[in-house]
């Protein structure tokens, strides 16, 4: 598959012979055996090939793959299943779509974010759209949207394509991937299987971190393509696994996902109506967290306890593409989604197993949206893109009681209530080519209204009651601008953003609330007045701003250097405090040699000290702990490509065995047999070897 990049000299080479090649006037194509940084394709658009090896070597999940893109950070909780943050925004502010489908996790404390169910190497591309600059990909994308996609091109003759890879690394790490596609012009069948395992890793001081994981995934797609313009597709996927967590008192012993989907595409219908797309899907997530599968029960939970939340998500999308004129394209459509969350819990598996308890529904969400997005080319190098969207939301609170501690509950004041709201979003962007400096300039403004998600409405309290069901919707207005430059030796981009956020949804832990002490099933204990600490949802007004820079300088045919920078700042205007959970200034500098057979490279990652904090406040995935020191991490990689079908790469991450933690990492928990750390530290020196064979 060849992805043509519009503005930069960028290429990624994997053993599947997938390449990303530039569409520019540079003298030769850069082929990157090991990805150390991802560059901007087009205005507010970044693409990368998930089959290509990369450094630092990512975990099996979607979040770790995003870390190489400027502006992304990951909230670490253990060895896998971190929460991605982009431009300081986490959770449902950053949507994740898998071939157009939505996956939602079940854990009320974000043990299983959507990326925990995404296995990137089974896909052909990862695309990031920055900011509220598209309305086609569902609601609430205030920070942006990430698209994990598979190629759907119709072959002209019978073909068999296979991509396989094996990875082995420190701490017992091993991954296996098989992705095979047999296709004819009329029919195709594609299947993939992945497996990933790792033992507990050690930080730079040799301190063992409770972080082992084991995950597997299978997927199959059947497609009928009777002609070049028609495709009918049915697909299914199953996955499961387990993972240890260093930031809490339980681990994930089940991450089961079942998926079914159907799609229809019809292109080149006529001069006015160009194409029609339709899809429907079903995703079911069955998650278990317990304190006995991967650890021994102690402390406040001495008995074996298990919690079994699940979430059923169904959705559909229909769109039509029109060409009102030769210079104009218009996409209009509708999408809808329903999801239902249930839970069942046993605090003592020896007495009553959670498997024997009925599931209890706590919330049901539904959303239906209509959208229109228009692109108009005028002149040789000018383009205007704009869109409008309206979403009708509804949520039903099905909780009779709300858990306020492990052993006590309180009556839910919003039990049985249904809340509905219509939210509007839109954007307008101008792009122009600057021939004098071989560049593209763009500026856009976007407005996004985001409905509170499950973790903000249901799994948190408010400042005044045990229910946060009346949390206001979040409203963001953002300015995005940037420049993409390409030259014979130097290419790169700079992007900047500034936003104002009304009713920003802030999560605050340790909030002291005056309450009546509760008994085991919500009963009162003598009417005695007391206080307790709670995690609440608040609305505040906020703003944030920042920038990303990526640049590549080609010294000659074989040597190049790459630089990326990312910075974000923010302010809580209501409380006159810094906006929490913002990663520090980050820079990456690499030097690479590549002659298409042999490659070698050094990567230096520098993290600035972060002293702009607001302890106890943050987002649904984590809250600020305190100041974080600066860190410098050096890594090395090498590659050998003896044939077009074989690629062998190796590397050492954190070469100097530095002990450090990401600023947005979760706090380390007290786990028997492990040293408790302030934050969950990153892995120490990590060696890895990856072999790929494709034909």
Q: Please give the mean pLDDT across all residues of the chain.
A: 92
Per-residue pLDDT tens over the stretch 520-529: 444 444 445 6
Residue 12 has pLDDT above 60, yes or no: no
- Where do the DSSP E strands lie in 573-663? 577-578, 586-594, 598-607, 617-618, 631-640, 646-653
Q: What's phi and psi for 437, nearest 5 deg?
A: -120, 15
Q: What is the pLDDT of residue 405?
A: 77
Q: What's phi and psi for 114, nearest 5 deg?
A: -55, -35
Q: What is the pLDDT of residue 499?
A: 98
Residue 25 has pLDDT above 80, yes or no: no
Between 456-460, 531-535, 682-686, the lowest mean confidence (pLDDT) is in: 531-535
Residue 332 tokens, joined: 């209009």
Nearest to 138 by CA among 280, 3, 336, 310: 336
Whole-angstrom distance between the N-terminal and C-terminal Cα of the chain? Answer: 12
Nearest to 291 by CA among 305, 276, 270, 311: 305
Per-residue pLDDT tens over the stretch 321-369: 999 999 999 999 999 999 999 999 999 999 999 999 999 999 999 999 9
Provide the b/e sequence for 680-692 (b: ≥16 CB within 10 Å).
Answer: bbbbbbbbbebbb
Residue 460 has pLDDT above 60, yes or no: yes
Tokens 């520098």 belong to residue: 606
Tokens 């929490």 belong to residue: 580
Q: Please tell me what DSSP assigns to residue 455.
A: H
How many structural domains does the chain have? 1
Q: Which domain holds residue 19?
A: 2-694
Report the C-alpha gap between 92 and 140 in whole angstroms.
Answer: 7
Report the C-alpha gap between 532 and 164 in whole angstroms.
Answer: 54
Residue 546 banded pLDDT, cuts 50, 70, 90: very high
Q: What is the pLDDT of residue 31?
A: 60
344 against 30, higher pLDDT: 344
Please state the rounded mean pLDDT for residues 555-584: 97
Q: Determine if the pTM surpasses 0.75.
A: yes
Per-residue pLDDT tens over the stretch 226-273: 999 999 999 999 999 999 999 999 999 999 999 999 999 999 999 999
Report the C-alpha gap between 537 and 461 in whole angstroms.
Answer: 6
Q: What is the pLDDT of residue 13?
A: 27
Please check whether residue 497 is in contact with residue 547, taking contact to mean a CB–CB distance below 8 angstroms: yes
CATH number at residue 626: 2.40.170.20
Q: What is the pLDDT of residue 298?
A: 84
Report the C-alpha gap between 496 and 480 in whole angstroms.
Answer: 6
- Which residues, including other chains, have CB under 8 Å from residue 466's CB and lie 6 or more apart? 402, 404, 410, 412, 413, 534
Residue 680 tokens, joined: 């969950």
Per-residue pLDDT tens over the stretch 366-420: 999 999 999 999 988 999 999 999 999 999 999 999 988 777 889 999 999 999 9
Please check whether residue 551 is in contact with residue 38, taking contact to mean a CB–CB distance below 8 angstroms: no
Residue 199 to residues 172, 174, 193, 587, Cα–Cα distance (Å): 5, 10, 21, 30
Report the C-alpha gap between 37 and 54 in whole angstroms.
Answer: 8
């Amino acid at each position: 598959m060849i992805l043509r990049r519009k503005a930069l000299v960028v290429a990624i080479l994997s053993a599947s012979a997938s390449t990303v090649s530039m569409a520019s006037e540079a003298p030769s194509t850069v082929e990157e055996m090991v990805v150390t940084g991802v560059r901007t394709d087009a205005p507010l658009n970044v693409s990368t090939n998930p089959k290509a090896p990369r450094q630092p070597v990512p975990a099996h999940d979607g979040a770790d793959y995003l870390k190489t893109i400027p502006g992304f950070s990951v909230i670490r909780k253990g060895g896998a299943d971190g929460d991605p943050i982009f431009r300081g925004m986490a959770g449902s502010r950053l949507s994740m779509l898998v071939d157009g489908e939505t996956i939602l996790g079940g854990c009320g404390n974000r043990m299983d974010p959507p990326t925990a169910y995404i296995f990137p190497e089974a896909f052909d591309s990862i695309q990031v759209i920055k900011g509220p600059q598209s309305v086609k990909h569902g609601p609430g994308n205030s920070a942006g949207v990430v698209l994990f996609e598979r190629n759907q091109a119709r072959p002209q003759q019978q073909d068999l394509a296979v991509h396989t890879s094996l990875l082995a690394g420190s701490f017992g790490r091993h991954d296996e991937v098989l992705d095979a596609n047999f296709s004819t012009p009329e029919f195709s069948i594609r299947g993939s299987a992945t497996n990933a395992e790792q033992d507990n890793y050690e930080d730079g001081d040799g301190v063992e971190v409770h972080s082992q994981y084991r995950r597997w995934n299978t997927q199959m797609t059947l497609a009928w393509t009777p002609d070049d313009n028609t495709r009918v597709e049915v697909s299914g996927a199953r996955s499961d696994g387990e993972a240890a967590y260093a930031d809490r008192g339980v681990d994930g012993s089940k991450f089961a996902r079942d998926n079914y989907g159907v799609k229809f595409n019809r292109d080149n219908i006529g001069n006015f109506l160009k194409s029609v797309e339709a899809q429907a899907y079903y995703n079911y997530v069955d998650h278990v967290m317990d304190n006995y599968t991967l650890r021994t029960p102690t402390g406040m939970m001495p008995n074996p306890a298990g919690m079994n939340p699940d979430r059923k998500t169904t959705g559909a999308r229909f769109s039509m593409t029109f060409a009102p004129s030769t210079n104009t394209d218009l996409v209009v459509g509708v999408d809808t989604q329903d999801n239902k969350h249930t839970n069942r819990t046993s605090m003592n598996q020896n007495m009553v197993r959670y498997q024997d308890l009925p599931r209890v529904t706590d919330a049901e969400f539904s959303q239906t949206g209509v959208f229109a997005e228009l692109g108009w080319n005028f002149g040789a190098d000018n383009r205007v893109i704009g869109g409008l969207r309206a979403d009708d939301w509804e949520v039903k609170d099905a909780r009779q009681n709300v858990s306020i501690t492990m052993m006590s509950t309180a009556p839910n004041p919003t039990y049985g209530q249904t809340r509905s709201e219509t939210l509007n979003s839109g954007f307008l962007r101008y792009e122009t080519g600057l021939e004098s400096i071989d560049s593209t300039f763009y500026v856009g403004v976007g407005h996004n209204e985001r409905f509170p998600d499950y973790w903000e409405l249901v799994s948190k309290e408010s400042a005044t009651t045990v229910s946060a069901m009346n949390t206001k919707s979040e409203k963001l207005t953002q300015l995005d601008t940037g420049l993409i430059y390409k030259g014979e030796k130097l290419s790169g981009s700079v992007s900047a953003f500034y936003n104002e956020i009304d009713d920003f949804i802030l999560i605050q832990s340790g909030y002291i609330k005056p309450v009546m002490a509760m008994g085991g099933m919500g009963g009162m204990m003598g009417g005695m007045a007391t206080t307790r600490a709670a995690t609440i949802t608040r609305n505040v007004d906020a703003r944030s701003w920042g920038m990303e820079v990526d640049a590549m300088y080609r010294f000659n045919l074989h040597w190049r250097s790459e630089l990326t920078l990312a910075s974000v700042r923010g302010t809580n205007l209501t409380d006159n405090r810094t906006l929490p959970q913002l990663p520090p200034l980050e820079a990456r500098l690499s030097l690479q040699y590549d002659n298409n057979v042999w490659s070698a490279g050094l990567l230096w990652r520098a993290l600035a000290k972060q002293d702009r904090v607001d302890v106890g406040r943050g987002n649904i995935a984590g809250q600020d702990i305190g100041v974080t020191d600066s860190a410098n991490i050096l890594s090395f990689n090498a590659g050998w490509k003896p044939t077009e079908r074989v690629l062998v790469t190796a590397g050492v991450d954190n070469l100097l065995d530095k002990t450090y933690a990401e600023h947005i990492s979760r706090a380390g928990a007290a786990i028997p047999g492990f040293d408790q750390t302030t934050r969950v530290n990153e892995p120490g020196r990590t060696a890895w070897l990856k072999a790929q064979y494709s034909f």
